[in-house]
Structure 1
């Protein structure tokens, strides 16, 4: 099986999504990939237990991708061995009336993981420079001073919003949140296949919406917006990883391996040592329990 490292998928310079492959050959069988994923996710689960006890870092995992990119199933398979007390998953939908009364980042701040925990954003604060950029009319519902029509939403508006997102991520990074941002890079052909499966398999029908087809017609616009967002917000403290996503098993393994290999570089993450007084009296406590 091919050995991979986080740098293989790290966005360190400007990328062109049209030139990036949506497939990746790990040079092994699917059964072997699934076996390796099980091994890595068990290690991640143990590492999360240590991080929970350590209590110094939080981990924020951001998942973005076109419809059917495999975000839900990736969350299910990659985090299967986590203690539920140590992970919280949040999926951001259309903003509520209350959320629209605040700035667009407010609801994301509310769902940030506490130190010692993992937080997974299934769709993220980047929806505010993706969906809203393809459909700028959505911005009007935010009731922002000075934005009275779509004509007021110019390039300077988006540049400012990218700056705000970069500042948001720098702030939480400086305060102990380790950030992973994964773009699940799906081909248009594979999306077509997955949408057809939703229609053909009765147990998948509930996932289908006619709106999926309308959004698919805007594929090129979304790709341009994703590319721009990734290029303008991949920073050392909050890097983007471009994950080939046409094969779900491969994508899941790559994401898990990147997280584990990166977190293992934090050598200060250790289980706290017992207080000297407690440590010196362990035998006494043991005898006390055994004598009951």
Structure 2
């Protein structure tokens, strides 16, 4: 199997989603992809143990994508070898009445991973420049000063929100959070097939909502909003990666490789040394246990 060049998926201010592939041809079978995945996620699991012991960094993994893009299954497969004490997953839905009484970043801030841990945001703070941009009427629920009607939400409002998100992420990075942002880039046809599967398979019916079809009609608008959000918030220390998502196994492997290749660059993340006094008495401790 060919090596994965992660820089092919790194986004910048010129990213054009329409020009980016939604499927990656690895020239490999599903069995080979699965085998590679096992190798990488074992390495990630080992890194997570070291990160936890080291205790000076946290890792935030942000997942965004259209409905059916494979976010849930990606979390299940990529992080399968993690110790459960070292990873926390948050899935952000419609804001609650309590959350709406705070600024839009509050619920995300309080869910951030502690030092030594991985945090996964399955849908993220970017919903606040995606769903609310497609449906600006949702902003009215935030009860913001100066926003009395939908027509008050102008380009300046969105520009400010992008600045706020960039500042939020810079603050996190400056304080030891390593940020990864993944957009699972799904084709409209593949989404259609996955929605049909939810309808055809009884055990998948629960995943389907008629709202999925309503949102699908707004596909073009969503793509435009994703593209602008990615262009304006992909920074060197808080990068976006656009992941071809039509092949779920391929998408999971790319995400796992990006995580591992980037995280192993942090040479200062190492297991802590034992106290000199403890180290000097290791043989004595062994003898005590062996003599029981």
Please tell me the TM-score bracket, short chain as reference: over 0.9
Structure 1 residues 139-185: Cα deviation after superposition (integer angstroms, max 9, x where no partner) = 00000000000010000000000000000000000000000000000
- Count of aligned pairs: 292
**Structure 1 residue 243 and structure 2 residue 243: aligned?**
yes
State how far apart, in whole Å, the 2-side matches of 1:222 and 1:254 are: 23
State how far apart, in whole Å, the 1-side matches of 2:64 and 2:110 are: 19
Q: What pairs up with 1:65-80 in 2 under 5 angstroms?
A: 65-80=65-80
3-state SS of 2:85 partner: helix
**Structure 1 residue 133 and structure 2 residue 133: aligned?**
yes
8 A contact 2:13–2:232 mirrored in 1: no
3-state SS of 1:98 partner: helix
Aligned-pair CA distance for 1:237: 1.0
State how far apart, in whole Å, the 2-side matches of 1:158 and 1:261 are: 33
Structure 1 residues 200-250: Cα deviation after superposition (integer angstroms, max 9, x where no partner) = 000000000000000000000000000000000000110000000000000
8 A contact 1:64–1:124 mirrored in 2: yes
Q: What pairs up with 1:8-87 in 2 under 5 angstroms?
A: 8-87=8-87
State how far apart, in whole Å, the 2-side matches of 1:8 and 1:282 are: 48
Aligned-pair CA distance for 1:21: 1.0
3-state SS of 2:97 partner: coil
**Structure 1 residue 120 and structure 2 residue 120: aligned?**
yes
Aligned to 2:233: 233
Aligned to 2:142: 142
Aligned-pair CA distance for 1:18: 1.1
Aligned-pair CA distance for 1:290: 2.1
Q: What pairs up with 1:156-235 in 2 under 5 angstroms?
A: 156-235=156-235
State how far apart, in whole Å, the 2-side matches of 1:235 and 1:114 are: 22
State how far apart, in whole Å, the 2-side matches of 1:119 and 1:132 are: 24
- In structure 2, the gaps of 5 or more residues are none
Aligned-pair CA distance for 1:27: 1.5
State how far apart, in whole Å, the 2-side matches of 1:265 and 1:177 are: 14
8 A contact 1:59–1:119 mirrored in 2: yes
Q: What is the root-mean-square deviation in Å for CA atoms of aligned residues?
A: 0.6
8 A contact 1:6–1:262 mirrored in 2: no
